[in-house]
Structure 1
Amino acid sequence: MSVPQVNIIVKYNDKQLTIPCKKQQSILDALTENHIFISAVCAGRGTCGKCRIKVLEGEIAISREDELFFSKTELEEGYRLSCTAYPGTDCTISYDINEERDFYIVTDSDIRINNINDRKDKVEKEDKEKKEKKEKKEEKEEKGLDVSCTGYKTRNPDFDKKYMSTDISEKKFGIGIDIGTTTIAMQLTDLENGEIIDTFSTINKQRSYGADVISRIESSNKGKKEELRQCIVKDLTEGIGRWINPDTALQIEHIVIAGNTTMIHLLMGYSCETLGVYPFTPVNIKTIYTTYDKLLEDSTWNIPIVIFPGISAFVGGDIVAGLLTCNFADDKKLKLLIDLGTNGEMAIGNSRKIIAASTAAGPVFEGGNITFGTGSIPGAICNVNITEGECHVKTIAGKPPIGICGTGVIEAVCELFKEGIIDETGLLREEYFEDGYPLVYSNSSDKLVFTQKDIREIQLAKSAIRAGVEILLRRYGVSYEDIDTVYLAGGFGYKVDVRKAMKIGLLPKEFDGKVQAVGNSSLSGTVRYICDKDAIKHIAHILDTSHEINLSNDMDFNELYVKHMYF
């Protein structure tokens, strides 16, 4: 007997399709089942307010959660949360895909790759084209464009100009890929000289199953393992397919992938049952050697694929790739690597010893769990300045403000504290406590506000990072002064104002002058693996000298975590 269902017409990005929705099934689940992925930071629990849809035709009852996240006007216009929307009849909905389209993501590292298979002793000086590109960047920066956080959702125009108009039959390429919890980024690399030819980045489609690895693990354990795997497969084939399709005919020698342990488990189809419970045992964290046809189920291509090894369940191959990027294996100077991503991974050490850890920072640094938070997309607030009671903001690409990204979150908190609008405990002044502090008015005259809940979210995240850093230093037996360089990794880390991060207590003031932003260090590590003949040796050394400390049951960490909640 078939389950009664209704039909939903879905309109998005100038497209329209009809999908079935079983009775007693939420629209979010129906969308996900039909491979339409929208953000659901809270994994469909109705607590984040991100899975917004608009009902164009038909009736969907207003839920209690809808009343919390939408104004009376918005509810009358048909706005609902898809996770609490249960249609009783056929209906037509639309949703905004801004968060997936034109996603700005850091893919460049300040760390330069040396020893490109000894093909070149030195990278050539910038040619005229690169100088012109740099001048354009500076010009855009003056206009408020967050140019450091850029990637190409469509093909890099320089790629077509340089490689589609010349004979490339003799050229060989490699593809480096970082599978992040929030974003997936990849780069096409010329094996002759190590040059980055093209870049692709997108939001991880698994976001429909929650923003963090715990939510993904829970979904996998509840029977969604294959659906989660297919999300990554779809993202990978979409990106890689730009370079291996018949139109380009590029000769791809190999593909190298890095990701946290959970992402690699989901990609490989491993069970996640032991990842989510003590003692958090991974199925496999060794180097994986496979091929495109086996991993991505496409017999057309037989390209070798290497997947970075990890250190533990919570310190994965992405951190190993970052350690490779930052030359931990061959430098006696003491370094600290902090990845300001969802999992808050970090490591301290040098060529003799490395200690690593992971903190539950959450998705705040990528705009998650923030009332009007968004990814690094055009229109996201990335800079905030409050002077004499007036709030001034800059947005990515200079577009009208639609939300606030991770960089903007740090800016907002710093400015609110500087102006005395929040106190050292994070409490908003009385006049803003209920409705939040208005950052800007949007085109629809609705306020984009920063709320008391948003401030609490950043307090939780920044105290987790800061406490983790201090525990690493204690366990290593060193002080702030002993650290030579602090590498700040991740898309968020590349553009953050380090001084403002220090003012709110995310980083200690003692790190002033020592911080070096390295962008997506995991992605850079995969590219280095492709180009550096000594990379395998360095990775082996990193694994031999590394060990993890578990912060979840560390009493000192818990004390510091509470201490650093304050500003």
Structure 2
Amino acid sequence: MIVKFLPNNIQVEFNEEMSLMSAADLASVAIDKNCAGAGTCGKCKVKILSGNVKTEDPYGVISDKEKSEGYVLACCTSIYEDVVIELKDSTEAVARKSKPVKLPEDFSYKSGVYKKHLILDKAIFYNKKSYKRILSDEAEGAKHIGADTLNKAADILRDSRDITITYNDDEIIDVDHGDTTDRIYGLAIDMGTTTGVVMLWDLKAGITVSNVAFTNPQANYGADVISRINFTSESPENLKLLNSLAIQGINKAVNQLVSEEGISKKEIYKVIMVGNTTMSHILAGINPISLALSPFTPVYDGELSSYAGDMMIDANPNARVTIVANIAGHVGSDITAGVITTDMPTSNDVNLFIDIGTNGEIVLSGKGRLLTCSTAAGPAFEGSSIVWGMRAAAGAIEDIKLIGEDVIIKTIDNKPPIGICGSGIIDIVSELVRTGIVNKMGKLLDYEKLIDKGMPEAIANRIKKSEKGNYFVIAETDDGKEIYISQKDVREIQVAKAAILTGCNVLLNELGVTKEELDSIKIAGAFGNYIKKDSAIDAGIIPDIDKEKIKYLGNAAGIGASMILLSKQSHSLCNDIVDRFEHIELAARDDFQQEYLKAMKF
């Protein structure tokens, strides 16, 4: 029996009944599994062009019209005969250039990795007992040298006295023939739940060479950390799979970078990794199941250190790999790294640091304290649980304005619209709230009520009704399908924004300050960089303060990882501040329920 996938024109043979999703995996065809196969998100929708299948739609995410057209959920469908399947428009997880990393102006670098070029005296070979003794004596205090480095050194020294020794602090990690002192590189890696970023740095010059962002390949096994944790808990093989997928994504990005820049992977001598606590555990090959069970205690604290060869990372096998210290069960090393890019550890100002994303980590500094919490915002901001939500890709609506009778949209790369990415989702909710189309309680009003309120008819006509409730039409695809935001979508954003705003307010309560006393709100995360200040305030994601106090940090985690890579001082600062953080467990707070109910209102 054969299953064929269009438009990829890929087919795979099978001998017995199997799930359509398993067939896609066998064919290496990417289909979104944001809900980890639970049948709730609807992102794995595909069309059966020919053949019969066994299918169900347990949560009613496919409309009657779509069912009549042959659409099914891949995760809830079994195939038992030849079938031809058409995939919806693909936004394949490909590596793409990210914005250059800009370090603080007063930053100074000293990575601890350096090289020394030597032309050894021939007589030295007769006066020393071993190659190891020769290297150690020339290394000026280096204490450690591994067997593989010794083997390589022996091969070189038998034929040449012209060598370069590479050091990482007190360890000799490589020996090369000739003078290679100008070629010292390192990687700073920010591994997020949705997106990873690999930054390639010249460690000698202290400058960025290039960087690449890529969609985390683990996304097919759940859009959020809880889905990933649940998947790893099912079997040891699943943990190995997610670890392998993360490393594959990193290596694909590394290979793209070194190929474009004419660099050898063996010239990468240091790697720094940051991510949320779940990603950090998975990268280290540690089961994160304890993070899903109260009191959410991580398996380890402090940083972890290994070697690139042991972790199967495409770099010099002796490159030291450091996974930066996490703060708590759901406040990871990405936040540790992000905070050191600011003056929060030393400033007396009251500053709020918010990483707007699936986990919604927040830090509040002031009065000599560093308070932190995580919020279960979920994947709504990144589009995973939104009907027309999608990753940031060509054709995604990223900017929306309601002006008079018109809905003005802007898509990525100015391509025809195919969905809505995170910034566009926040924009449309903000605009619907601002114009009164969505009321303070989050209800998407119907046509009659909007007309009674004096809404232009052209706008009111965009409200449509379905068996699942009202929805607002934003645009149409090239083939005439309505791109819309539904009542359920609004509720998803409402819950997500309430989670983050509640976290902010509880931390303010704990410190004994009001939002008016905030000196700044620092919005972190590559996604956060694209959210307009007005939209973030109008949608009720962040406290309503003077917009001049709102600052964008960009990918603070990536910047912080780069600082740790380049500077032993930044690395020490990172380890020093971890123990200063006071983790606030929101659900255990007396004021949590009250603050959450208030934050649910727009």
Q: Which category of TM-score, normalised to the shorter sequence, fits these structures?
A: 0.7 to 0.9
User: For residues 357 and 71 of structure 2, what CA distance do their matches in structure 1 show?
Assistant: 30
Code of the residue aligned with 2:184 in structure 1: it is K
Structure 2 partner of 1:112: 104
Residues 537, 299 of structure 1: alpha-carbon distance in 2 compared, 3 angstrom cutoff = closer
Residues 141-194 of structure 1: CA deviation (Å, up to 9, x unaligned) = xxxxxxxxxxxxxxxxxxxxxxxxxx9972322111111011111111222443
**Within-5 A mapping of 1:223-234:** 223=235, 224-234=238-248
Of stretches 60-69 and 525-534 in structure 1, the one that deviates more from structure 2 is 60-69
Structure 2 partner of 1:31: 24
Structure 1 partner of 2:520: 485
Matched, 1:377 2:393: yes
Q: Are the equivalent residues in 1 in contact too, given 2:46–2:87 (CA < 8 A)?
A: yes
Task: Report the alpha carbon displacement of residue 543 of structure 1 after superposing the two structures with TM.
Answer: 1.1
Structure 1 partner of 2:197: 185
TM-score by length of structure 2 reads 0.79
Structure 2 partner of 1:564: 599
Matched, 1:282 2:298: yes
Residues 502-554 of structure 1: CA deviation (Å, up to 9, x unaligned) = 12221222252111111211111111112223112211221131121111232
Matched, 1:170 2:163: no
Matched, 1:45 2:61: no
Residues 303, 111 of structure 1: alpha-carbon distance in 2 compared, 3 angstrom cutoff = closer
Residues 199, 509 of structure 1: alpha-carbon distance in 2 compared, 3 angstrom cutoff = same
Q: Are the equivalent residues in 1 in contact too, given 2:97–2:211 (CA < 8 A)?
A: no
Residues 373-401 of structure 1: CA deviation (Å, up to 9, x unaligned) = 00111111111111233212111111111
Structure 2 partner of 1:69: 62
Match of 1:248 among 251, 263, 269: 263
What secondary structure is seen at the aligned counterpart in 1 of 2:46? strand
Q: Are the equivalent residues in 1 in contact too, given 2:96–2:212 (CA < 8 A)?
A: no
Q: Structure 1 vs Structure 2: percent identity of aligned residues?
A: 31
Residues 268-293 of structure 1: CA deviation (Å, up to 9, x unaligned) = 22122322111212111321111111
Residues 272, 117 of structure 1: alpha-carbon distance in 2 compared, 3 angstrom cutoff = closer
User: For residues 350 and 168 of structure 1, what CA distance do their matches in structure 2 show?
Assistant: 47
What secondary structure is seen at the aligned counterpart in 2 of 1:454? helix
Residues 232, 413 of structure 1: alpha-carbon distance in 2 compared, 3 angstrom cutoff = same
Root mean square deviation of aligned Cα:
2.7
Residues 458, 281 of structure 1: alpha-carbon distance in 2 compared, 3 angstrom cutoff = same
Match of 1:195 among 195, 207, 216: 207
Code of the residue aligned with 2:223 in structure 1: it is A
What secondary structure is seen at the aligned counterpart in 1 of 2:295? coil
Of stretches 239-248 and 455-464 in structure 1, the one that deviates more from structure 2 is 239-248
**Within-5 A mapping of 1:244-323:** 244=258, 248-249=263-264, 251-296=267-312, 301-323=317-339
Q: Report which structure shows greater RCO (CA 8 Å, sep ≥6).
A: 1
Structure 2 partner of 1:446: 481
User: For residues 469 and 66 of structure 1, what CA distance do their matches in structure 2 show?
Assistant: 33
Task: Report the alpha carbon displacement of residue 299 of structure 1 after superposing the two structures with TM.
Answer: 9.4
Residues 367, 111 of structure 1: alpha-carbon distance in 2 compared, 3 angstrom cutoff = farther
Number of matched pairs: 512
What secondary structure is seen at the aligned counterpart in 1 of 2:301? coil
User: For residues 486 and 516 of structure 2, what CA distance do their matches in structure 1 show?
Assistant: 36
Residues 463-514 of structure 1: CA deviation (Å, up to 9, x unaligned) = 1111100111111222223322211011221011112211222122225211
User: For residues 509 and 323 of structure 1, what CA distance do their matches in structure 2 show?
Assistant: 22
Residues 520, 188 of structure 1: alpha-carbon distance in 2 compared, 3 angstrom cutoff = same
Q: Are the equivalent residues in 2 in contact too, given 1:107–1:520 (CA < 8 A)?
A: no
User: For residues 423 and 67 of structure 1, what CA distance do their matches in structure 2 show?
Assistant: 26
Residues 291, 113 of structure 1: alpha-carbon distance in 2 compared, 3 angstrom cutoff = farther
Residues 193-252 of structure 1: CA deviation (Å, up to 9, x unaligned) = 433221211111111111111111111111122222121121111112234569632621
Matched, 1:532 2:561: no
Match of 2:590 among 535, 543, 555: 555
Q: Are the equivalent residues in 1 in contact too, given 2:364–2:371 (CA < 8 A)?
A: yes
Q: Are the equivalent residues in 1 in contact too, given 2:358–2:380 (CA < 8 A)?
A: yes
What secondary structure is seen at the aligned counterpart in 1 of 2:4? strand
Structure 2 partner of 1:341: 357
Code of the residue aligned with 1:538 in structure 2: it is L
User: For residues 481 and 100 of structure 1, what CA distance do their matches in structure 2 show?
Assistant: 44
What secondary structure is seen at the aligned counterpart in 1 of 2:561? helix
Residues 499, 317 of structure 1: alpha-carbon distance in 2 compared, 3 angstrom cutoff = same
Matched, 1:16 2:10: yes
Q: Are the equivalent residues in 2 in contact too, given 1:106–1:491 (CA < 8 A)?
A: no
- Structure 1 alignment gaps of length 5 or more: 1-5, 120-166
Residues 107, 265 of structure 1: alpha-carbon distance in 2 compared, 3 angstrom cutoff = farther
Code of the residue aligned with 1:360 in structure 2: it is A
TM-score by length of structure 1 reads 0.84
Residues 299, 475 of structure 1: alpha-carbon distance in 2 compared, 3 angstrom cutoff = closer
Residues 487, 375 of structure 1: alpha-carbon distance in 2 compared, 3 angstrom cutoff = same
Task: Report the alpha carbon displacement of residue 51 of structure 1 after superposing the two structures with TM.
Answer: 1.1
- Structure 2 alignment gaps of length 5 or more: 112-178, 448-462
User: For residues 101 and 268 of structure 1, what CA distance do their matches in structure 2 show?
Assistant: 23
User: For residues 208 and 521 of structure 1, what CA distance do their matches in structure 2 show?
Assistant: 26
Structure 2 partner of 1:146: none
What secondary structure is seen at the aligned counterpart in 2 of 1:264? helix
User: For residues 420 and 209 of structure 2, what CA distance do their matches in structure 1 show?
Assistant: 31
User: For residues 330 and 396 of structure 1, what CA distance do their matches in structure 2 show?
Assistant: 39
Residues 278, 19 of structure 1: alpha-carbon distance in 2 compared, 3 angstrom cutoff = farther
Q: Which has the larger radius of gyration?
A: 2
Code of the residue aligned with 1:88 in structure 2: it is Y
Task: Report the alpha carbon displacement of residue 462 of structure 1 after superposing the two structures with TM.
Answer: 0.6
User: For residues 209 and 16 of structure 2, what CA distance do their matches in structure 1 show?
Assistant: 46
User: For residues 234 and 22 of structure 1, what CA distance do their matches in structure 2 show?
Assistant: 30
Q: Are the equivalent residues in 1 in contact too, given 2:372–2:581 (CA < 8 A)?
A: yes
**Within-5 A mapping of 1:116-131:** 116-117=108-109
Q: Are the equivalent residues in 2 in contact too, given 1:372–1:403 (CA < 8 A)?
A: yes
Matched, 1:426 2:418: no
